[in-house]
Amino acid sequence: MARATEQKIRLLALYDFLRSNTDEDNPMTTQEIIKALESRGITVSRKTLYDDIDLLNKYGYDIVCVRGRSNHYFVGERQFQRPEVQVLLSAIGATQALSANKTEIIIQKLLELLGIGEANQLCDIVPTSDARHSNERVYYSIDAITTALLKKKKLLFKYFDYGVNGQREYRRGGHRYVINPLGMAYSNDQLYLVGYHDNHGGLTHYRIDRIR
């Protein structure tokens, strides 16, 4: 492997490791970092590690060094700070529009924005709603709505309710609704499509988890 390519990979691996495993309450020593990189197949000396950290700091990656008999390092400023991630976690945890599976996937992605210490702390206080829906196609509906908004196109869909046994019951015998989308709105822990029909005035809205 060319030396320049090796250095780029080493820098990426170093920052990825520090971002995922360190924060102000969980710094790591030089030796711990070197061993962690070695476990990933990357051999680095102390001097090279110091140079790499200096280079990351030079280009805006905030790696804080706590000097002592053994220096400790952690990622300081992040793209998202803990209060910002907490706000997003609260919103995702409370919404009923997503299935339990999709909710868990998004929560884990948000927690990855933090160091492992802060992520573990927030895991215990993420609010979740018990009133989850089983419609795994919500993601596709949101994407279709976003595409229609960007391209200024109409939307065609069926709309359903859930019967006593949880089965889908399409309104108006499976009639296909045609709507001019204006946007999406969040209200009472639900996500809605807002728009209007050509054949009558006024706004109308539909729960996105009940759109097919």
- The string of pLDDT tens digits covering residues 167-199 is 889 998 889 999 999 999 988 878 899 999 887
| Neighbour count for residue 87 (Cβ, 10 Å) | 11
pLDDT of residue 128: 63
What share of the chain has pLDDT > 90, as a percent? 40
Q: Which residue has the tokens 């170093």?
A: 14
pLDDT of residue 149: 94
Q: How far apart are alpha carbons 126 and 114 in whole angstroms? A: 14
- The string of pLDDT tens digits covering residues 39-68 is 988 889 999 999 999 999 999 999 999 998
Long-range contacts of 56-63 (CB under 8 A, 24+ apart): 56/11, 56/14, 56/15, 61/15, 63/15, 63/18
Domain spans, the chain? 3-75, 82-123, 138-210
- Region 59-79: mean pLDDT is 90
- Region 109-126: mean pLDDT is 81
pLDDT of residue 48: 93
- Region 86-91: mean pLDDT is 84
Fold of 3-75: Arc Repressor Mutant, subunit A (1.10.10)
pLDDT of residue 147: 94
Q: State yes or no: pLDDT of 73 exceeds 80.
A: yes
pLDDT of residue 198: 83
Six-digit token string for 199: 């054949």
Q: How far apart are alpha carbons 179 and 163 in whole angstroms? A: 25
Per-residue confidence band for 159, with pLDDT thresholds at 50, 70 and 90: very high
Residue 55 phi, psi (nearest 5): -65, -40
- Give the pTM: 0.63
Long-range contacts of 202-206 (CB under 8 A, 24+ apart): 204/179, 206/157, 206/159, 206/177, 206/179
| Neighbour count for residue 109 (Cβ, 10 Å) | 11
Per-residue confidence band for 85, with pLDDT thresholds at 50, 70 and 90: confident
- Region 78-96: mean pLDDT is 82
pLDDT of residue 201: 75
- Region 205-210: mean pLDDT is 91
Q: State yes or no: pLDDT of 3 exceeds 80.
A: no
Neighbour-count burial of 108, counting CB atoms closer than 10 A to its CB (0-12 exposed, 13-18 middle, 19+ buried): exposed
